[in-house]
A = this chain, B = another copy of it.
Amino acid sequence: MVATTEKSIHVLKEGHVTSPNGFSAGGVHCGIRRSKLDFGWIHSNTPATAAGVYTLNAFQAAPLKVTKESIEKEKLIQTVVVNSGVANAVTGKQGYADALEMQKLAAEKMGVDVDHVAVSSTGLIGVPLPMEKIHTGIQSMENPDCYSAENFEKAILTTDTVTKHMAVQVEIDGKTITVGGAAKGSGMIQPNMATMLSFITTDAAVEHDSLQQALKDVTNKSFNMITVDGDCSTNDTVLVLANGQQNNEILNKSHPQWPLFLEAFQLVSEGLAKLIARDGEGATKLIEVNVKGASTEVAARQVAKAVISSNLVKTAVYGADPNWGRIVCAVGYSEQPIDPDKVSVSLGDIDVVEDGLPLDFDEIEGKQYLENETVQLVINLKDGPYEATAWGCDLTYDYVKINASYRT
């Protein structure tokens, strides 16, 4: 959660992945998808310190392997190329060779070191990367008309209905540091990353190990706390690039203003994560689950995830049915140490359960609250000091519609 120093962080009105200095981005239709943009890129004027986190799915897609291996070499990325429509997952040796080829072609086109190129794909599993079309996309990287953050943000989408972007600014050591980001994700969204891609940029100079640790910590409190449908994809990736264009003293964990940088990073990640949850396939509402009073951090997170992942809770919110029994039930099966006689539940400000017993509340008021576009479910376990927040969306007819006919 973003803490009290938030005031010192300025959220840009129109923030993008290109808001930090020295980043450009673009996108085109290269022909993988029927008519929508399907190939995009981010480019930094100079190689940027880079860190990544990747899906834990055993069928990790080829581009993730290529990107991971490249970052491991020099911890630097200058160009990121992304296609949508085809995930290049479950494609074997050919898929790996194709991802390498995509990387090499982009490096040649942009005149950067091949290991400074990250590649990323999202879309159908098990379909070979159409290399001719990828080639067409890469050709467009020399065309100034294709450059815009919006083009990039559109090019990475699949079943998403809106682009997802954000940027914030903070003062560090007298320099204005900007953190920006763009993300995609709508289905196959689940804690531990899912068909979710997120690219975060900053013009701060940041030491690599601190950046990698920060990415892990921030991801655990943002992207790993969202769920749309409980399915964890083969391609999830969050990349962060820090190009140091503001010439600040290199930031690391020991820097006195590190917490402020972390907060800016968290704010962008959390913002993008919530945009993904709100744009969940078929969703009409954003659901936020706050768990308080847990005996451990794991318990707080697991209880929040159990509730946000419950199909019964999600359908109850869709139908604006204040059926708190389903919330309590999900708390109970979270497999965490819970004292049922201490648990309290509120729908926003409406208390519905206290110390494990139902309260008399106004059902109409409860129903009205659940008709809001953002719904908060608060669970207090009264068993310790730990808290966690998870985000998700309601489960609707349209979720079924979208997923019963994704390909056909």
Contacts and interface: CB of A to CB of B under 8 A. Distances in A.
Given A126-B353, A310-B231, A90 B318 contact: no
Nearest to A338: B58
Given A321-B406, A403-B319, A231 B126 contact: no
A400 B282 CA distance: 12
Nearest to A405: B319
Interface residues of A, dominant DSSP:
loop
Q: Which of A233, A332, A401, A405 has the most CB of B within 10 A?
A: A332
A320 to B, nearest CB: 8
A66 to B, nearest CB: 16
Interface string A56-70: 111110000000000
A321 B404 contact: yes
Nearest to A87: B325
A91 B353 CA distance: 11
Nearest to A57: B332
Contact of A231 (B232, B333, B404): B333
A330 interface: yes
A297 B395 CA distance: 33
- List 3 A-B pairs, minimum CB-CB distance, nearest first: A125-B325, A319-B404, A315-B403
11 contacts: A57-B332, A92-B356, A125-B326, A230-B309, A311-B399, A315-B400, A319-B404, A321-B405, A321-B408, A395-B403, A396-B404
